[in-house]
Chains A and B, each alone.
Chain A
Amino acid sequence: MTPIRFSPSSLREGRWYEYVIRFALGGAATVFTGFISSLYGASVGGLFLAVPAIFCASATLIEKHETRRKRKAGLVGERRGQKAAALDAAGAALGALGLLAFAVIFSMLVKSSKPAAFIGASLVWLIVSLAAWYVRRKVRSVWRARTVEKASGSAVSRSRYG
């Protein structure tokens, strides 16, 4: 199982304007959410608290960086870039479960204590996201092991009876 690790060198791959774009998109998404809330009410505005605001920019950057890295190594990197962005999307799907838990805990705690609501909901987001990621990894590794076992089993039976 691949361990979780820090790779600070990844920050050097980014161009300065890419960080500016993400900052602007994040700011714009927050302004937009506030604007929607004031225009259509808290319920409709609340939907946009889970809007994939910078997902488009992030996925495009990941794809671009991976493609660039493969090209430097003399390979065609487009497919690898798409796969890297797909992995990021798979992780975001698991993170969305954490975001759901964040919303549930926040709505439960905010009326009794505001600081507890923010801290508790953030912690629950982290715990649920990590747990979902860990379970997915475990399930995938068990599934892979079974597939390899089946493949080797059928190869043995083919060599015996084939």
Chain B
Amino acid sequence: MTDLIDRPTTDIAADPGAPHHDDHDHAHDGDHGHHGPSGLLKWMTSTDHKVIGINYIVTSVIMLVIGGSFAEVIRAQLVSPTSTLVSFSQYNELFTMHGSVMIYLFAGPFAFAGLANYLVPLQVGAPDMAFPRLNALSYWLYLSGSITMLLGFFVAGGAANFGWVGYAPLSNAVNSPGAGADLWIGALMLTGFSAIFSGVNLVATIFYLRAPGMTLFRMPIFTWNMLVTGILILLAFPVLTAGLVMLYCDRHFGTHIFTVQGGGVPLLWQHIFWFWGHPEVYILALPFFGMITEIVPVFSKKPIFGYKGMVFATLTIAALSLGVWAHHMFTTGAVLLPFFSIMSLLIAVPTGIKIFNWIGTMWGGQLVFSTAMLFSIGFIITFLIGGLTGIYLASPPLDFFAHDTYFVVAHFHSVVMALVLGGMAGLYFWIPKITGYMLHEGIGKAQFWFMFVGTQVFTLPMYLVGLHGMPRRMAVYPNNPSWQTLNIWESVGALLIGLGTLLFVVNVIVSWKKPIVAGDNPWDASGLEWFTSSPPPHHNFVSLPPIRSERPTWDYNHPDAPALGHGHAPAAATEKVDA
């Protein structure tokens, strides 16, 4: 591994395949301009990681709005136990596409392809991703996959309607005929390959394109998390893609992999799906953990507390996440309960370490409650709720009665809404770097309160109604009118979240009309991305500060700041590991 560390940039520049950044940067002297197409053509043809990153962010936020609008219709339907706002089949399509759009088209692409694309090369001091053309291909595969999935609404029989998990044999040709299901499968293959290529690019970039001095243990935690996310993508996504090929063959080529009639095993689909699906939970979550870990120290005016513990916690989560998939299958009666139970329970330990490290970072600091910081704290609290309720579900006897009820829906919506709050924190934090202009803080804070309060009003009644026995994916609940009150509260919460999201759109427009110039480093942040201009020039850096710790920009800007404290540990301990 040592040859990966301290690799000088001259090595990279000497590689004929790698872009030469020195001559560009000096020629343009930090100018954003570049010899190439401009306007729309630039956005369509660019291989610049920043352009592709923005493409990803904009597309995925549009997907968030689309997926969110499906959720609002679902919540409107459930306000009454016997609502007929949408038909049963429309309802099944709506929640299938809500889950699919949010998981496959928003959360992952936003984090591991959008912000990561933009930030990772900047954070490691590289001019671009390792494979710029592959990166562009990733984006176009993602966009075509997204359009493919949404086209399902326009074909006969409607969009896929078997839930975002597509359980066999409900998803076979007999039970789900029609092109909507095939478009769903095709879309997941396209976005799956997009994700795999993003994973390749992230891992290669982080291993090979780090600037001199940027050792692994000086990398920002966001970059660390993206490295681990990239590795998890490479381990998990090919399994899903293979499963989708099998499903497609079952539907069209007469194979019987998942059908009993030909000697197949329907349960196999669940194993394949969740072998991807649970690492996927962390593929989604780790980038957001990384964002929070970047933001909390900046607004506490302190380094991240327990940096190395944070890295090991991330690695432990990733390792454990590959051995917990069957906790989604406790009620199948066909999995080894104690093994998957203890593995799932153990994930609480590294996750807890992260939460304590965030608290430790704030402890004794000078906290500034910018919008990004508010969203980060909102993330931590919401994730705490989602994490604690996840512990129940790791216990098979408790999962037996909570499984497939709104308790589970509430649990993972606490988690994913925490991710949405974290994503908003990330946007408020990095948009000044990406655009060169600040977002309006006042509107941002109003947005935070709408979304944070909305999230709790939305999820907390869901836990209760689940415990009262309401199964998920019910279009109506005529036998149980007593569930209505809690459902109304959930819908009110969903409405607040929707209004919060609209405020974000308003904020973007307001900030566009009345721009406030951000400057290079508006937050006094510590990563390399804050050393360059906002937005950064074509190949990112005109010059780099010396990288002698995990906070190079801070070290450069605060030569007289107090040295790092190590609590009870000897100060030399970390230096030894770094060297």
A is bound by B? no
